[in-house]
Amino acid sequence: MDVAFSVNGVPIRLTAERWAHIVEARDELAGRMDEVLAAIESPDWVTRGYHGALVAWKGRGRKRYLAVIYREVRKVDGFVVTAFITSKPRKKNRIWPSRD
């Protein structure tokens, strides 16, 4: 099990089982676990997802983005739901960095 700390300081777990499930569905992420964990720790921005989830977004070159969906269950626990690469990032419902 690997752990990354979210922008809120919450440890986010990525288990071997979850990683295998992600890579099985999205083979373009094979060998990129460190990149997924880095997106959680140092995203370009974070948006609200569905059902209380958060989405960390990280640019991957021209018009490509890594999206990592995770949940912060408590201040001391969270977990990765899934990750994927997309050319259509969402900035609606951005919560970090704040727009103040």
Comparing CA positions, the residue from 32, 15, 20 lying closest to residue 77 is 15
In this structure, what DSSP letter does residue 40 have? H
pLDDT in tens, 51-67: 999 999 999 888 999 99
- The pTM score is 0.93
Query: Cα separation of 55 and 68, whole Å?
Result: 5
Q: What is the percentage of the chain residues whose pLDDT exceeds 90?
A: 91
With H, G, I as helix, E, B as strand and everything else as coil, classify residue 93.
coil
List 65's β-bridge partners, or say none: 59, 86
Distance CA 52, CA 76 (A): 16
